[in-house]
Structure 1
């Protein structure tokens, strides 16, 4: 199911590039980047705290935890969402994009939290099924419409399919969660526990918003440097490169990090170290293979798309895929630190990466134009990767007592 999702998303981005104007592809990229950024604003990164807590408590307490998360998110929607929409209005978003933004954001957030819950409770099969419905099913429908019906080749049709798939995935996720061993739904919400979670996740939120700020500002900055059609080409290349992380999440990380949390909770540090070592080699081999294969095949796919704007921008891709590989490898020490409960290196590295990205993009844009953005992303992700790797090495050298670093 994960491979099917990966394949359909990979194909979708090329059919989108073939049948939809590059300007529309560019606006689609800006929309998706803003959705992803918005997920963290309305979710407060609370899952970071919840994921470590829920696997360590008895089944009859889990429902109360989830109720606390739902209540918190409800408050955040009431407080934050109107402000978010006002900002988008000031950025001259079209009325149609604004109308699609709220339902898609809510559905993506709900389904994302369901998937995270299923993964952390080691129900990866159900998580894969909901992911396919949420991301793969509407991509298949969109491709079929674009091929068979010229009137289906517009962004509004794609957004409508996205909403329908989100509703179906949400229904499937609720059905599966009801079957899980989760009790305690009748317990009152422990607001003290929620406040503790906010204090833990708030620090993560700052670092996550800094990291996601890079992955959102890159598209807007690219528009300023090369125009909306260049954003369309950049989004196409990002769509190809991002399949690497989807594949790694499905085949490596979603199976390894629940085990890492369990090993560290039980102080089984030798087993945790072996898991990290296996994650690293799997990630490295898959990433390098993906980089070479995608780089070799992409020119043929661009020829099939048949639009000069994408072929002329091919020089962006080596830097885009290098940034994706650096980010992927950096996730290994990220999960290792997270499972140990060592959060500060994660937070500090993400926060430090944002000014590095801004400074390097500003400097490089004077002489390298559009290349400034992907090169700066590579520099930022390299900083994050090295910072986390060094921090994990220092923590692991004193594995008997996990410490913040």
Structure 2
């Protein structure tokens, strides 16, 4: 059943960022309950709603905080320090409100008719099939990895209309979608990323939109909302989710490792690990690695923001490719830092009640995400850097 957010009071984006920090203890306390449920507990959804997380990126005209890219990144990174699974799911629900607000006014009147943020889950490839009929389309298909669907009111499907070359988004009510219980995994358990399916479902025309109007700076929302973020290509935000959540999770692992250095004895020695050269060196290496990842993230966010502020032109394919490379590099560095900590932590972290192993499983699962696929991104960036590719074309969600 979807968890319905209340009509929370309007908050500034700065308040929401501050509120996200206060959620960390509760997220950590509920980590194993989240894994057992294979969804976020109601308390997590309620706390996030009260904190204003879902409204952060909505424009003020829709009751939101009108937050910017840097603030979205900071909130997701902070939530991941509490629980990467929760940060992933809450981050999607937050970002999906931004995506919904980019639709034309007729759709906005339906999504936000209750004066509160909407809850939407979404899927990407492979596209389903759609056929144009009077007043809309008939859609059929089955899609995997629908993160957050257990908390959604809406589901965004991707389908290819007969006779068209570019897929379209189809927005459908959650209760018209069949959810198949397929998310039986070791990491990111609580994201509830089950398969979803529809069969010959009618979708009215005003809830259908070509991808060509999404992966551009000129979406319908850019004409409706004054906030600068609505003049961005949606990929500028969505491609950051994986590396940002991984960074926050790795920072939590480093925090736990620091505490362990003050308690754990070195092997076959009465000396605390933190008092050994090996322990100190390992902690310094992990810290330096995460500082490098953090600096790269900050530079990328600044570069995207400055490029969008410079004028109305689309960001170049070359810049997008370099940003994808940065995302992949941040993900790699965060996993490297996590491994440095793990190798100096002993076997006790793998006890079932130790949350460190939860962070590890989450990060390892995210490390395999398609949007940071090593072979694809490194090959694409290498071709560009070597001048072997005359034209670099982007695909779905930062690819």
Give the number of the structure with larger relative contact order, counting CA–CA contacts within 8 Å between residues 6 or more apart.
1
Structure 2 length normalisation: TM-score?
A: 0.32
Structure 1 length normalisation: TM-score?
A: 0.32
